[in-house]
Amino acid sequence: MLVLGIETTCDETAAAVVERLPDGSARILSNIVRSQTEEHAPYGGVVPEIAARAHVELLDGLVARAMKESGVGFPQLSGIAAAAGPGLIGGVIVGLTTAKAIALVHRTPLIAVNHLEAHALTPRLTRALEFPYCLFLASGGHTQIVAVLGVGNYVRLGTTVDDAMGEAFDKVAKMLGLPYPGGPQVERAAEGGDASRFNFPRPMLGRPDANFSLSGLKTAVRNEASRIDPLKPQDISDLCAGFQAAVLEATADRLGVGLKLFQERFGTPRALVAAGGVAANRAIRASLEGVAAKAQTMLIIPPPALCTDNGAMIAWAGAERLAAGLTDTLEAPPRARWLLDANAQAPAGFANTRAGF
């Protein structure tokens, strides 16, 4: 089974060809990603209009390159998969429309992939992993704990009630004058900082649910930065170290609750899986090892190139769905918001929530 995957939900334009073998394993035949970091850096964040325009300019060339590197012709493809959401709607439209055109011309099945499902299934792209397992998804747009029970079968155990984790890292970097993208900059600055200098809050610590909140922590960083302004380099390092330490402690607590909820409802997970761009943070990866060890389960983190947005994860999710007999019509809509767990409810008491992502 050969599937072309297209990813355009945010600021990476990506295309890949993945082969799903009869035993359920995979081979990545090509995986081309073009980041738009330089285009968005002057603005300190992703500008949707610029992202959509870049996808239009780049996607055809990336698809051609992915096909050439894979050595596969369009007639050989078993399916065309595209991320149909959630994400920036302009970019989603570009990728999904391109996939529909290819599917129509070559009379090939279309698979409209939920971007979150692609992250959820990525560990099965790199190794043999049976269901069920627990997913911690943390990126610029998403922070969720999800029970992955099977292809198309997901239960959200926890989510953010305000900022996504990657978003919080980027906003802290911006307020401290660090370059975009901010996550790696905060991690780097934190390495030389004193995490105990500032007494930052640990949001949601000890709550019985598995939800996250990062807005208050971000505000606490801003308040301390304003109090000691002008900032010296060591001040910035200490602020970053304190912020990251608070995130680590809160994440460990939230995941501990999430794994307990998983155990109570579905039994012992086969693994704790981390995905999304935040999983590339070395300190967070080390913290997750402790969480998994305490829960007596193994930790699986895909290679960094497969944690961030890429076409291979979309192609693989398409292959998994195709193998299960799940395809879509050319009327499949692009979606800015798309729940992975259709039965998920917004966290109680929080009206302004990102739970729809």
Based on the fold, state whether residues 250 and 286 are members of the same structural domain: yes
Condensed to tens digits (0 to 9), the pLDDT of residues 53-91 reads 999 999 999 999 999 999 999 999 999 999 999 999 999
Indicate the average pLDDT of the chain.
93
Based on the fold, state whether residues 185 and 199 are members of the same structural domain: yes
- The whole-model pTM stands at 0.92
Residue 115 confidence (pLDDT) above 70:
yes
Asked, for residue 357, whether it belongs to a domain, the answer is no
Cα-Cα end-to-end distance for the chain: 30
Based on the fold, state whether residues 137 and 268 are members of the same structural domain: yes
Asked, for residue 343, whether it belongs to a domain, the answer is no
CATH number at residue 113: 3.30.420.40
Asked, for residue 344, whether it belongs to a domain, the answer is no
Based on the fold, state whether residues 79 and 185 are members of the same structural domain: no
Condensed to tens digits (0 to 9), the pLDDT of residues 178-232 reads 998 899 999 999 999 999 999 999 999 999 999 999 999 999 999 999 999 999 9
> How far apart, in whole angstroms, are the C-alpha atoms of residue 308 and residue 37?
13
Residue count of the chain: 357
Single out the residue in 275, 304, 333 at which a domain terminates: 304
> How far apart, in whole angstroms, are the C-alpha atoms of residue 276 and residue 126?
15
Asked, for residue 356, whether it belongs to a domain, the answer is no
Contact between residue 300 and residue 52 where contact means Cβ atoms under 8 Å apart: no
Based on the fold, state whether residues 123 and 174 are members of the same structural domain: no
74 φψ region: left (φ > 0), alpha (ψ -120 to 50), beta (else): alpha
Contact between residue 135 and residue 273 where contact means Cβ atoms under 8 Å apart: yes
Based on the fold, state whether residues 160 and 295 are members of the same structural domain: yes
Based on the fold, state whether residues 217 and 264 are members of the same structural domain: yes
Contact between residue 103 and residue 28 where contact means Cβ atoms under 8 Å apart: no
Contact between residue 209 and residue 264 where contact means Cβ atoms under 8 Å apart: no
Based on the fold, state whether residues 147 and 176 are members of the same structural domain: yes
Three-class DSSP category at 82: strand
**Token pair in block for residue 40:** 């968005």
Asked, for residue 88, whether it belongs to a domain, the answer is yes
Asked, for residue 332, whether it belongs to a domain, the answer is no
Residue 357 confidence (pLDDT) above 70:
no
Based on the fold, state whether residues 144 and 264 are members of the same structural domain: yes
Based on the fold, state whether residues 23 and 40 are members of the same structural domain: yes
Please give the sequence-ordered ranges of beta strands (E in DSSP) within the chain, or none if there are none.
Answer: 2-7, 12-20, 26-35, 79-85, 110-114, 133-138, 143-150, 153-159, 271-275, 298-300
> How far apart, in whole angstroms, are the C-alpha atoms of residue 14 and residue 208?
39
pLDDT for res 355: 38
Based on the fold, state whether residues 179 and 118 are members of the same structural domain: no
**Token pair in block for residue 168:** 């919080």
Asked, for residue 286, whether it belongs to a domain, the answer is yes
Based on the fold, state whether residues 146 and 217 are members of the same structural domain: yes
> How far apart, in whole angstroms, are the C-alpha atoms of residue 74 and residue 83?
19
Q: Hey, which of 4-13, 43-52, 269-278 has the most confident mean pLDDT?
A: 4-13
Number of domains making up the chain: 2
Asked, for residue 13, whether it belongs to a domain, the answer is yes
Q: Which domain holds residue 33?
A: 2-127+307-323
pLDDT for res 297: 94
pLDDT band at residue 356, thresholds of 50, 70 and 90?
very low
